[in-house]
Amino acid sequence: MKKVLCGVLDVFCFIAENLSIIGGIALVAMMVLTIVDVVLRRFGSTVTGNVELISYLICVVVFLGFGKSVFIDSFTKVEVFDFRKAEPFIKALMDVIHVVMCGFTSYYCFAQSTVARRMGTSSLMLDIPRWPFIFLSGVGFLLITVSVPLSIYKNHMLKNAEKKSINGIQEGYNES
Res 7 pLDDT > 90: no
Give the tens place of pLDDT for each residue, 35-83. 999 999 999 888 888 888 998 998 888 888 877 777 776 666 656 556 5
Q: What is the pLDDT of residue 166?
A: 55
Contact assessment for residue 110 and residue 135, using Cβ atoms and an 8 Å cutoff? yes
Q: What is the mean pLDDT of residues 121-145?
A: 89
User: What's the number of CA atoms in the CB half-sphere (13 Å) around residue 33?
Assistant: 18
User: Bridge partners of 129?
Assistant: 122
pTM for the whole thing? 0.74
Contact assessment for residue 155 and residue 169, using Cβ atoms and an 8 Å cutoff? no
Which among 74, 69, 66 is positioned nearest to 106, based on CA atoms? 66
Q: What is the pLDDT of residue 62?
A: 85
Percentage with pLDDT > 70 across the chain: 81
User: What's the number of CA atoms in the CB half-sphere (13 Å) around residue 48?
Assistant: 5
CA distances from 95 to 62, 74, 79, 112, 147 (A): 21, 15, 11, 26, 11
Q: What's the full length of the chain, in residues? A: 176
Q: Under the phi-then-psi rule, with left for phi > 0, alpha for psi from -120 to 50, and beta for the rest, what region is 76?
A: beta
